[in-house]
Amino acid sequence: MKSSVIVFPGSNCDRDIAVALEKMQFKNQMVWHKDTKLPKSDLIVIPGGFSYGDYLRSGAIAGKSLIIDEVIKAANSGCLVLGICNGFQILTETGLLKGTLLRNKNLKFINKDVQIKTLNNETKFTNKYKKDQILKINIAHNEGNFFTDTKHLDELKKENLIAFKYCDENGNENQEANPNGSLENIAGILNAKKNILGMMPHPERMVDDIISNEDGINLFSSLLN
Amino acid sequence: MKITEQIIDKHGLKPEEYQSIKKLLKREPNLLELGIFSAMWNEHCSYKSSRIHLKKLPTKGKQVIQGPGENAGVIDIGDDDAIVFKIESHNHPSYIEPYQGAATGVGGILRDVFTMGARPIALLNSIHFGDPKHPKTKSLLNGVVSGIGGYGNCIGIPTVAGETKFNETYNENILVNAMAVGHAKKNKIFYSKAKGLNKSVVYVGSKTGRDGIHGASMASAEFDENSEEKKPTVQVGDPFTEKLLMEACLELMKDNSIISIQDMGAAGLTSSSVEMASKGSLGLELELNKVPCREDNMTPYEMMLSESQERMLIILEDGKEKKAKKIFDKWDLDFVVIGKTTNTNKLTLKFNNKVVGEIPIEALASKAPIYSRKWIKKKPCKNTIELKNLKKIKIEDALIKILSSPNHSNKTWVTNQYDQMVMCDTVQRSGSDAAIIRIHNKDKAIAVSVDSSANYCKSYPLTGGKQIVCENWRNLITVGAKPLAITNCLNFGNPENQEVMGEFAECLEGIKEACEFLNYPVVSGNVSFYNGTNKKNIFPTPVIGGVGLIKKLSKPLNHSFKETNSSLLLIGKTFGHLEQSCFLKENYSIDEGMPPEINLLNEKNNGENLLKLIDKNLILSSHDVSSGGLITALSEMSISSGYGAKILKPKKLTNLIKYLFGEDQARYIIEIKKNNSTKVEKILKDNDIYYENIGYTQRDFFEIESELKINVKDLFKINNEWYNTY
């Protein structure tokens, strides 16, 4: 499977995701933001970091960059797109995903391991997980507080477009287990065609037992499936 | 403009220093030149009060590739790998403007590391605040922590370890020390020494603005009631630009384009150009009209003294300009040839086709003043504390008081604001004795820790100096790393005060003795004097940052108990030294007496043999015993794991309080499997190591035989309350 990781100035999880993809036997290449052509890819990843310093608004400038038009075209023609953290923020800025990511409720940057629950395991990104499987995954963000309008929220629920929700160790989706104030504990969502996933937690940080755990591996192996 | 006494004083120069300047120049300086002298001769850049003492520190060893004097120290970790690291203070700016002060502290130390060709792989910090009840403490804490996080998180380098401490001595002068650690190829280290004539001097990075002018001079003076007015001397950080600058520099460093490179830190363009020229015994000519400026009509004075961040000076090999410029264009950064190397041994500054300043390089560097300041030896305090004279206290209450105190409370409120995981090589995050960072794509790792013990250093600087080095060394040992070298950040009061100078001299003597004995050389560092306000000096606070090597990373070791029913051993002898202990400070507000004695022989023997046990895979968890004594260390092992422990009273016991809370040094707690006891004890005996069997791990309850029994969950709560309710 061929993957492309888009590198913006200020991306800082680009190497991490590349390491994870290569470990999972993806044929990966890095694509510079000033490029105007996207190599043939089955998967496009928009990595975490602070693209363009997150100035103006997280993801806002990246959402208008040269390469992003190509990403939008590819996504609209069905290519798989994964946006992690800043990548999720960028996807909402492009309109490929609806909703937005507000400042964390406690107004602080949060880095810690949290539990998330796999709500929909029938997607290209999650088919190797069990339904409602609880994963322990690292988050690291300032603006991860997902918000959207009622109409979109209804659509997310009705169409089963919520991929992950924050929960406690027993799978309860309560406010204590909600690290950033996200609407209904939402941690990751899909578009209507389910070829685009945006998520705040970092699966690429969870593919190596010696530094964390291997809860992120199945996201990548799902894609290979 | 005529140079008046008032102008000289405003530049922080003493009248006799001005006389020396005139002698060196053989004329009166103009204002630009005076500004340059003030930037180079202040304490921060010249080390004029500290230099004669710093010379005594051990800086060599088989593991040392580059000692002090460069942008950072470099050590050998085997194969073709080198570790580049340094710690630096940003105390004064952080007190005036906590967010930007702390942020640019991180930015500055990162530049020191990647300037040398290393990719930064870890950040650490040591931050000291005043009394939590002081009206400024809360906002300073918030500002500094978010500033450190703001910079490190954005640039994408994990902040993996540190210490956050409170003491009223820092009420009006907080300490913010940042340490950066990088990884480089041994044969690809870049230095600041200029070489060759007529080589291009290139300015890269951000544009120069009017921020931070005279920052280094500010950092070389005491605060007074007008300190708030110094806000404009604080620089503003832009981690995004630094990320671009870092990537561009590392990209350029892949081939042989660079002759020398120096970041523009304190005293900006002035100190970077002087540094390069003086090391290469060359001259440097700069055309200031070419300096990229952020604002209109900037004067040569402002350009030379600005401390705008995220800038570098590079001397390029002939014919490499085009290729180098392409890289900086790619990263959207300025790249301008602003001058050349000369054989005049002078710093020559041209503006509008006129020479506006010319100073012999040696006048700014090797001929800068050096002071052998008077100092007084600290008298040992004869007072000892008799427990029988104090109000009786229950062990449980005393323990709770310590675990819930600001200095011993769990610090996840702080560390959760730092990205500790980015780069995906953080094996052990903060919270343990030391953090562990894997070398990318290899199965070896380094361990890093920063430590300080200001109250020990205040009460008896010689012992205090030794103690921090030893504690730092122990912290690396407990995670299974062989300690290799240190960097130090020496935070002291006014060096013109003989007592302060005495604290400095004796702390350094202590550091020297310990480093020599442990073969733990100092490879980089920074001195910060004039920490104090209105003649009140801070406690002497040397901070030690240590780096150790884990040759083969298998299962990382930390201080959390691993299972129930394993044996607990205490390595090292307990005498019950309570003076200067956290027990007396937290429970009785007593801070009299001498710090615990250091026995370097025991330190070395205990540490090295623990490392052998770890290498033989015999240790489940280990923790050094420091502030708060044995009982505090044991509770920390419980709290972080959720497992309890039962501690048995020793048979020959003089006083249980002293046994549990005493802060005797060279001690470790180790958790071992019961069936490994014989093997472990034999090794300890064979190596003449004093140890005791103190108990075993169990489920749920933290217990001291017939004295105390607390649910670990309650201990956890007690330990986690303070920050969340502050």
What does the pLDDT look like over B274-294, one tens digit per residue?
A: 999 999 999 999 999 999 999
CA distance B414 to chain A (A): 10
| Chain B residues touching residue A22 (CB < 8 angstroms) | none
Mean pLDDT of A101-116: 97
* Residues near B668 by beta carbon (within 8 Å), at least 6 away in sequence: B474, B477, B478, B570, B571, B572, B606, B610, B622, B623, B624, B625
pLDDT at B384: 85
ipTM above 0.85, yes or no: yes
* Residues near B673 by beta carbon (within 8 Å), at least 6 away in sequence: B566, B567, B618, B620
> CB–CB of B421 and A49 under 8 A?
no
pLDDT at B215: 62
Segment B336-348, tens digit of pLDDT: 999 999 999 999 9
pLDDT at residue B233 is higher than 80: no
Segment B238-253, tens digit of pLDDT: 999 999 999 999 999 9
Closest by Cβ to B240, choosing from A52, A205, A208: A52
pLDDT at B1: 72
* Strand ranges (E), A66-161: 80-84, 100-102, 110-118, 134-141, 145-147
Distance between CA atoms of residues B531 and B223, nearest Å: 8
* DSSP designation for A109: -
User: Backbone phi, then psi, for B593, in 5-degree steps?
Assistant: 90, 180
| Chain A residues touching residue B240 (CB < 8 angstroms) | 9-10, 50, 52-55
Residue A107: pLDDT band with limits 50, 70, 90: very high
Mean pLDDT of B49-62: 96
> CB–CB of A53 and B239 under 8 A?
yes
C-beta of residue A149 within 8 angstroms of C-beta of residue A84: no
Q: Which of B151, B416, B425 to mutate to test the interface with A (most CBs of A within 10 A)?
A: B416
Mean pLDDT of B504-531: 97
pLDDT at B554: 85
> CB–CB of B424 and A138 under 8 A?
no
Distance between CA atoms of residues B246 and B250, nearest Å: 6
| Chain A residues touching residue B418 (CB < 8 angstroms) | 109, 111
* Strand ranges (E), B370-439: 426-428, 435-438
pLDDT at B681: 97
Give the sign of the dihedral formed by CA A212, CA A213, CA A219, CA A224. Answer: positive
pLDDT at B77: 98
Question: Does residue B44 have an active-site annotation?
Answer: yes
B241 touches chain A (CB under 8 A): yes
B420 touches chain A (CB under 8 A): yes
Query: How crowded is residue A34: how many other Cβ atoms within 10 Å of its Cβ?
Result: 13
Question: Which carries the bigger pLDDT value, residue B230 or residue A111?
Answer: A111
**Element containing residue B267 per DSSP (H, E):** none
Closest by Cβ to A140, choosing from B240, B421, B425: B421
Whole-angstrom CA distances from B708 to B121, B400, B693, B702, B703 are 43, 12, 19, 8, 5
pLDDT at B230: 60
The mean pLDDT of chain B is 95
Q: Hey, is B293 helix, strand or coil? A: strand
| Chain A residues touching residue B416 (CB < 8 angstroms) | 108, 110-112
Segment B644-684, tens digit of pLDDT: 999 999 988 889 999 999 999 999 999 999 999 999 999 99
pLDDT at residue B80 is higher than 70: yes
Mean pLDDT of A13-24: 98
pTM for the full model? 0.96
Q: Hey, is B630 helix, strand or coil? A: helix
Q: Which of A84, A211, A212, A217 to mutate to test the interface with B (most CBs of B within 10 A)?
A: A211
Residue B219: pLDDT band with limits 50, 70, 90: low
Whole-angstrom CA distances from B638 to B559, B641, B644, B671 are 9, 5, 5, 11
CA distance B598 to chain A (A): 35
List chain A domain ranges. 2-224
CA distance A209 to chain B (A): 9
Catalytic positions of A, written as ranges = 85, 202, 204
C-beta of residue A129 within 8 angstroms of C-beta of residue A222: yes
Nearest CA to A225 out of A127, A129, A131, A135 is that of: A127
The mean pLDDT of chain A is 97
pLDDT at B236: 84
> CB–CB of B424 and A110 under 8 A?
no
Closest by Cβ to A19, choosing from B415, B424, B427: B424
C-beta of residue B467 within 8 angstroms of C-beta of residue B595: yes
Question: Which carries the bigger pLDDT value, residue B97 or residue B218?
Answer: B97
Q: Hey, is B29 helix, strand or coil? A: coil
C-beta of residue B223 within 8 angstroms of C-beta of residue B148: no
pLDDT at B617: 96
Distance between CA atoms of residues B64 and B49, nearest Å: 26
B424 touches chain A (CB under 8 A): yes
| Chain A residues touching residue B155 (CB < 8 angstroms) | 12
B125 touches chain A (CB under 8 A): no
pLDDT at residue B177 is higher than 60: yes
> CB–CB of A210 and B418 under 8 A?
no
Sheet of strand B644-647, all strands in order from the earlier edge strand to the far edge: B621-624, B668-672, B567-571, B691-698, B644-647, B701-704, B708-711
Segment B366-394, tens digit of pLDDT: 999 999 999 999 999 988 888 989 999 99
| Chain B residues touching residue A33 (CB < 8 angstroms) | none
> What superfamily does domain A2-224 belong to in CATH?
Class I glutamine amidotransferase (GATase) domain (3.40.50.880)
Pairing of strands A162-167, A186-190: antiparallel
Residues of A in CB contact (< 8 Å) with B are 9-10, 12-13, 15-16, 19-20, 34, 48-50, 52-55, 108-112, 138, 140, 142, 202, 204-205, 208, 210-212
Question: Cα B63 to the chain's mean position, in Å?
Answer: 20
| Chain A residues touching residue B146 (CB < 8 angstroms) | 108-109
Distance between CA atoms of residues B349 and B287, nearest Å: 6
pLDDT at A210: 95
Distance between CA atoms of residues B241 and B335, nearest Å: 14
Percent of chain B topping pLDDT 70? 97
Q: Which pair of structure tokens corresponds to residue A225?
A: 């499936």
User: Backbone phi, then psi, for B87, in 5-degree steps?
Assistant: -120, 150
Catalytic residue among B11, B44, B53, B128: B44
Query: How crowded is residue B4: how many other Cβ atoms within 10 Å of its Cβ?
Result: 9
Percent of chain B topping pLDDT 90? 90
Kindly identify which residue of chain B lies nearest to residue A208, measuring between CA atoms: B424
| Chain B residues touching residue A220 (CB < 8 angstroms) | none
Mean pLDDT of B177-183: 98
Residue B45: pLDDT band with limits 50, 70, 90: confident
Q: Which pair of structure tokens corresponds to residue A192?
A: 């209507």
**CB contacts < 8 Å between A and B, how many?**
85
Q: Which of B240, B250, B424, B427 to mutate to test the interface with A (most CBs of A within 10 A)?
A: B424
Find residues 314-333 of chain B whose CB sits inside 8 Å of chain A: 330-332
pLDDT at residue B231 is higher than 60: no
Q: Which pair of structure tokens corresponds to residue B455?
A: 């109250």
pLDDT at residue B585 is higher than 70: yes
pLDDT at B226: 63
Residue A102, amino acid: L
